[in-house]
């Protein structure tokens, strides 16, 4: 049936997924591919969960009888009160009846959770039951009227205009559970193997018929009265449904965790100055009538039980041996129609819930609406922001019509009142919207309280400190796990926190496909801490890191990661990678890392608040309160007693839990409420009381502002001291600089001297150069002179040579002449002269040989002289 609904939805709105959320156009194709996988997975997990719940719903049954054994008559009376109504209409709506029965079973089981609580709680439970009966009746009426058609369509909310939207949502809830019952019962009947179911339902029916009751008429009459009286209010305000009994086991386990958390908070508070107990003590002497308002006792008992719990922590772990099994189921995903209730069970909504708290917050709201001037500036700001954001939360979602947005508005306003240290922060609108799609309004409120106050404590406050701390922690983990990827991102200039910041803050809402978001939330809410945030982010990095490493600029890297993350349709792969791949990332490890990085963030925040004074809007106060809460500084202690003097029960400036306590206390204080016969009177009285509370609150705020101004003063003084220190330092620096300047001057003078000396030397060298140049000129001159002389010499030599040649030729001529004469002499006629001529040629030959030798000598000489001459010329 669920599937047919889904198909219907799909057919109607092809651009929306099975949850009614818009699918981005670029993802429609991929989404279509995954729809069938999702369907298969869903079937598989429904089956698994059914088996699991059948197995573990039973062990709690004995407790039921135990309770019966304990003669808590009043409790039984309340149970009986409930019974007759379903029986009346038994024939017409069998399913309804059995559901009513289940309701009773829940009651009973609720009682088993604590016997002590049970005793005192009974009265409050009675009222609770009335309310429940009222809503149930409304439900039944419509069921009768519109028969089963209603349950065919989840989105038929608009059609049932007559029943207010509130009831319609209730109806949806009821329809959902009915569907399951219907689906379950036949299948088990057909399936002979699944016989476990049969005796279960059989015994239920038995127990129902076993209890005939005489008082039922009067009871139901009274109920109707109450209902009528409260009707307007109930219809508008009260939207509370219990989880189905099969989930009780889980609920119990998680409740103990929620209580533990609370308990720890109380202990912290006590450490910080023992104020809370003193407040309580101060209140206790006040008149306590018989009709003592239950809540007070309830609180006392609860706190005393918490002490026990603290002692029994270890035993609790062993008390739930199937926790691991459940864990693996959760990793596989929670079935759609169980999700709302399972989440509530995980967060421990039942343990957190305080009767009428939500209503009172809303009443406060409407009251202040009447006197607009009353609401404080901060609150008005939140209100405006909420109004701005309402239409921007899942726009176009079929379930978030006008009525849906009204619930969203109420829910967010109530939360802002509940925890002023957070107020309203963008992102919460998405969480609240998501929760409203899965559960009734008040259930959603308490779930949101659990998520923001505990799981994400300090995340969405004015300074968002823990959120910043987590980013630093995540970056460290990234560096440790994916050093290469981080190196690449560093290289591109991309900071991991740019991308992971929005992931964490939105808990992946709008960042991943819805199927994946819900699967992550399943695990996150089950684990009850932020480990899953880190694991999922790391898993995404593991899946997409390889692709990221290939990017070449910052823009591309971020775009790629965004689009890849946005198309992570394989939710099972993601969740399994996250849960199995990063087991070393544990809460303890994260806490250590947070402690390591927190001081840096706090320092920056402190800096910001200092300079941001002008723009503060009690913002500084918030941050201070935050650091007080974490440092438990002395100023907190100053603040508190002052308030106590002013009036004992103002503690709303404190943390959220005390805010809650305050309300309880104020309710306790005025136990007359209960004794007032007339509801109108009660309302009046409540108004007066509210007025008083508001005045007190204003007084406290004033006081806080005073304190803050005092703080500002102190901070300023601090600044002055710092400034004077700085001035001194600067003066010192100036002196140093002057000294340095003097030194520099001396150095300069010395340098000048050196320079002058250098110049002188330069001049000297210049002179020397000039001298050498003159020398060189002189030498050159000498060379030319020599050259001339040489040329002259050469010329004379040439003349001489000519002369020699002439002489030679003359000599030869003479020789020839002589030889001619000698021939003539050799005739007889000349013989007489023979002797003398013989002598004379010999003499002449002697002169000739001398002349020739000299000539030869002269011929070789000029060559040599020329070469040497050239050389010497070059040298000069």
Partner 1 sequence: MGCSSSLPDRSAGRLSGLNNAENSGVPDAKNLRVKLVLLGDSGVGKSCIVLRFVRGQFDPTSKVVTVGASFLSQTIALQDSTTVKFEIWDTAGQERYAALAPLYYRGAGVAVIVYDITSPESFTKAQYWVKELQKHGSPDIVMALVGNKADLHENREVPVQDGIDYAEKNGMFFIETSAKTADNINQLFEEIAKRLPRPSSS
Residues of the shown chain interacting with partner 1 in the complex, contacts defined by CB under 8 A: 22, 381, 385, 388-389, 391-393, 395-396, 425-427, 429-430, 460-464, 467-468, 471, 493, 495, 497-499, 501-503, 505-506, 509-510, 552-556, 558-559, 562, 605, 608, 611, 615, 617, 619
Smallest gap from Cβ 128 to partner 1, in A, equals: 35
Per DSSP, 375 falls in state S
Residue placing its CB nearer to partner 1 in the complex, 719 or 833 = 719
**Burial 814-852, CB ≥16 within 10 A → b, else e:** eeeebeeeeeebeeeeeeeeeeebeeeeeeeeeebeeee
Residue placing its CB nearer to partner 1 in the complex, 129 or 499 = 499
Q: Which two tokens mark 380?
A: 């008005």
Smallest gap from Cβ 591 to partner 1, in A, equals: 22
Smallest gap from Cβ 261 to partner 1, in A, equals: 25
The closest alpha carbon to 464, from 421, 521, 435, belongs to 421
Q: Which two tokens mark 858?
A: 């002269």
Residue placing its CB nearer to partner 1 in the complex, 121 or 625 = 625
CA dist., res. 848 & res. 852, Å (int): 6
Q: Do 657 and 452 meet the contact criterion of CB atoms below 8 Å apart?
A: no
Q: Do 107 and 117 meet the contact criterion of CB atoms below 8 Å apart?
A: no
Smallest gap from Cβ 493 to partner 1, in A, equals: 7
Residue placing its CB nearer to partner 1 in the complex, 439 or 509 = 509
CA dist., res. 65 & res. 62, Å (int): 5
Smallest gap from Cβ 386 to partner 1, in A, equals: 11
Smallest gap from Cβ 495 to partner 1, in A, equals: 7
Smallest gap from Cβ 416 to partner 1, in A, equals: 13
Q: Which two tokens mark 471?
A: 């980013």
Residue placing its CB nearer to partner 1 in the complex, 562 or 876 = 562
Helices (H), ranges, 439-509: 441-449, 465-481, 483-492, 496-505
Helices (H), ranges, 826-875: 834-875
Number of Cβ atoms within 10 Å of the Cβ of 90:
15
Residue placing its CB nearer to partner 1 in the complex, 201 or 426 = 426
CA dist., res. 273 & res. 758, Å (int): 82
Residue placing its CB nearer to partner 1 in the complex, 162 or 617 = 617
Residue placing its CB nearer to partner 1 in the complex, 211 or 488 = 488
Q: Do 438 and 339 meet the contact criterion of CB atoms below 8 Å apart?
A: yes
Cα 843 to the chain's mean position, in Å?
A: 137
Smallest gap from Cβ 606 to partner 1, in A, equals: 12
DSSP tally for the chain: helices H, then strands E: 37, 0
User: Which residue(s) pair with 22 in the sheet?
Assistant: 16
For the residues of 100-153, what is the DSSP string, one character each? HHHHHHHHHHHHHH-HHHHHHHHHHHHHHHHHHHHHHHHHHHHHHHHTTHHHH-
Residue placing its CB nearer to partner 1 in the complex, 559 or 722 = 559
Smallest gap from Cβ 64 to partner 1, in A, equals: 45
Smallest gap from Cβ 427 to partner 1, in A, equals: 5
Smallest gap from Cβ 554 to partner 1, in A, equals: 6
Q: Do 150 and 143 meet the contact criterion of CB atoms below 8 Å apart?
A: yes
Task: List, in order, residues 6 or more apart from 830 with CB less than 8 Å away.
Answer: 824, 837
Q: Which residue has the tokens 């059609």?
A: 159
In terms of phi and psi (left: phi > 0; alpha: psi -120 to 50; beta: otherwise), the region of 507 is left
Residue placing its CB nearer to partner 1 in the complex, 197 or 556 = 556
CA dist., res. 242 & res. 443, Å (int): 8
Smallest gap from Cβ 499 to partner 1, in A, equals: 8
Residue placing its CB nearer to partner 1 in the complex, 389 or 654 = 389
Q: Which two tokens mark 572?
A: 């099972």
Residue placing its CB nearer to partner 1 in the complex, 479 or 632 = 479
Helix (H) or strand (E) holding 257: helix 248-273
Residue placing its CB nearer to partner 1 in the complex, 321 or 396 = 396
CA dist., res. 150 & res. 174, Å (int): 11
Residue placing its CB nearer to partner 1 in the complex, 241 or 413 = 413
First to last CA, the chain: 123
Smallest gap from Cβ 625 to partner 1, in A, equals: 14
Smallest gap from Cβ 420 to partner 1, in A, equals: 13
CA dist., res. 354 & res. 111, Å (int): 16
Residue placing its CB nearer to partner 1 in the complex, 550 or 680 = 550
Residue placing its CB nearer to partner 1 in the complex, 384 or 698 = 384
Smallest gap from Cβ 207 to partner 1, in A, equals: 49
CA dist., res. 791 & res. 873, Å (int): 13
Query: 666 by DSSP, 3-state: which?
Result: helix
Smallest gap from Cβ 130 to partner 1, in A, equals: 39
Q: Which two tokens mark 831?
A: 């013989």
CA dist., res. 452 & res. 446, Å (int): 10
CA dist., res. 5 & res. 275, Å (int): 54
């Amino acid at each position: 049936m669920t599937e047919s609904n889904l198909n219907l939805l799909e057919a109607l709105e092809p651009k929306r997924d099975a949850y009614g959320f818009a699918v981005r156009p670029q993802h429609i194709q991929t989404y279509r591919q995954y729809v069938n996988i999702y369907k298969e997975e869903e079937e598989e997990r429904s089956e698994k969960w059914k088996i699991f719940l059948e197995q573990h719903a039973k062990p709690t049954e004995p407790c039921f009888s135990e309770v019966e054994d304990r003669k808590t008559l009043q409790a039984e009376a309340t149970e009986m009160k409930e019974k007759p109504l379903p029986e009346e209409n038994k024939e017409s709506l069998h399913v309804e009846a059995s559901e009513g029965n289940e309701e009773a079973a829940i009651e009973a089981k609720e009682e088993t959770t604590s016997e002590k609580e049970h005793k005192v709680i009974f009265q409050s439970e009675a009222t609770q039951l009335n309310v429940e009966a009222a809503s149930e009746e409304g439900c039944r009426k419509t069921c009768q009227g519109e028969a089963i058609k209603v349950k065919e369509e989840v989105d038929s909310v608009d059609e049932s205009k007559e029943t207010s939207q509130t009831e319609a949502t209730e109806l949806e809830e009821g329809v959902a559970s009915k569907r399951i019952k219907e689906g379950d019962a036949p299948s088990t009947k057909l399936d002979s193997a699944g016989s476990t179911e049969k005796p279960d339902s059989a015994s239920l029916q038995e127990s129902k018929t076993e209890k005939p009751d005489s008082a039922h008429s009067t009871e139901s009459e009274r109920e109707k009265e109450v209902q009528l009286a409260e009707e307007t209010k109930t219809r508008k305000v009260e939207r509370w449904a219990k989880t189905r009994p099969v989930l009780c086991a889980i609920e119990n386990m998680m409740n103990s965790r929620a209580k533990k958390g609370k308990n720890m908070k109380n202990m912290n508070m006590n450490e910080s100055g023992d104020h809370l107990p003193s407040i309580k003590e101060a209140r206790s002497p006040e008149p306590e009538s018989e009709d003592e308002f239950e809540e007070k006792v309830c609180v006392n008992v609860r706190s005393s039980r918490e002490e026990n719990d603290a002692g029994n922590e270890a035993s609790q772990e062993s008390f739930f041996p199937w926790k691991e099994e459940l864990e693996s189921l959760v990793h596989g995903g929670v079935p759609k129609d169980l999700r709302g209730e399972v989440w509530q069970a995980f967060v421990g909504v039942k343990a957190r819930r305080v009767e009428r708290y939500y209503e009172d917050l809303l009443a406060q709201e409407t009251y202040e609406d009447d006197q607009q001037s009353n609401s404080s500036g901060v609150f008005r700001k939140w209100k405006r922001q909420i109004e701005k954001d309402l239409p921007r939360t899942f726009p176009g979602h079929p379930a978030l019509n006008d009525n849906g947005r009204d619930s969203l508005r109420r829910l967010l306003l109530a939360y802002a009142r509940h925890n002023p240290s957070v107020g309203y922060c963008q992102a919460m609108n998405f969480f609240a919207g998501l929760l409203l799609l899965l559960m009734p309004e008040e259930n959603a409120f308490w779930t949101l309280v659990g998520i923001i106050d505990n799981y994400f404590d300090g995340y969405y406050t004015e300074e968002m400190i823990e959120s910043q701390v987590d980013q630093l922690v995540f970056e460290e983990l990234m560096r440790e796990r994916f050093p290469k990827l981080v190196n690449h991102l560093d290289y591109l200039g991309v900071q991991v926190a740019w991308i992971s910041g929005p992931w964490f803050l939105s808990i992946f809402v709008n960042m991943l496909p819805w199927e994946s978001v819900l699967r992550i939330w399943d695990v996150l809410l089950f684990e009850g801490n932020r480990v899953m945030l880190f694991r999922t982010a790391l898993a995404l990095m593991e899946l997409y890191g390889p692709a990221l490493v290939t990017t070449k600029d910052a823009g591309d890297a971020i775009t790629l990661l965004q689009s890849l993350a946005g198309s992570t349709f394989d939710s099972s792969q993601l969740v399994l990678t996250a849960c199995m791949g990063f087991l070393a990332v544990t809460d303890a490890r994260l806490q250590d890392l947070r402690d390591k990085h927190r001081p840096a963030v706090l320092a920056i925040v402190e800096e910001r608040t200092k300079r941001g004074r002008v723009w503060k809007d009690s913002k500084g106060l918030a941050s201070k309160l935050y650091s007080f809460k974490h440092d438990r500084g002395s100023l907190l202690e100053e603040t508190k007693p002052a308030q106590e003097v002013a009036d004992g029960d103002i503690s709303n400036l404190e943390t959220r839990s005390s805010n809650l306590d305050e309300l309880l206390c104020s309710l306790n204080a005025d136990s007359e409420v209960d004794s007032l016969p007339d509801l109108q009177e009660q309302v009046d009285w409540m108004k007066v009381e509210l007025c008083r509370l508001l005045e007190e609150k204003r007084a406290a705020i004033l006081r806080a502002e005073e304190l803050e101004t005092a703080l500002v003063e102190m901070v300023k003084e601090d600044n002055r001291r710092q400034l004077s220190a700085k001035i001194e330092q600067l003066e010192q620096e100036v002196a140093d600089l002057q000294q340095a300047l003097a030194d520099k001057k001396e150095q300069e003078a010395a340098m000048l001297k050196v320079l002058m000396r250098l110049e002188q030397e330069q001049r000297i060298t210049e002179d020397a150069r000039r001298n050498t140049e003159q020398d060189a000129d002189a030498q050159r001159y000498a060379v030319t002179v020599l050259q001339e002389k040489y040329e002259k010499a050469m010329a004379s030599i040439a003349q001489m040579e000519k002369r020699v040649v002439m002489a030679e030729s003359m000599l030869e001529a003479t020789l020839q002449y002589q030889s001619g004469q000698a021939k003539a002499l050799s005739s007889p006629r000349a013989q007489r002269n023979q002797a003398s001529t013989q002598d004379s040629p010999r003499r002449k030959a002697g002169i000739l040989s001398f002349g020739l030798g000299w000539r030869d000598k002269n011929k070789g000489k000029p060559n040599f002289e020329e070469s040497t001459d050239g050389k010497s010329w070059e040298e000069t």
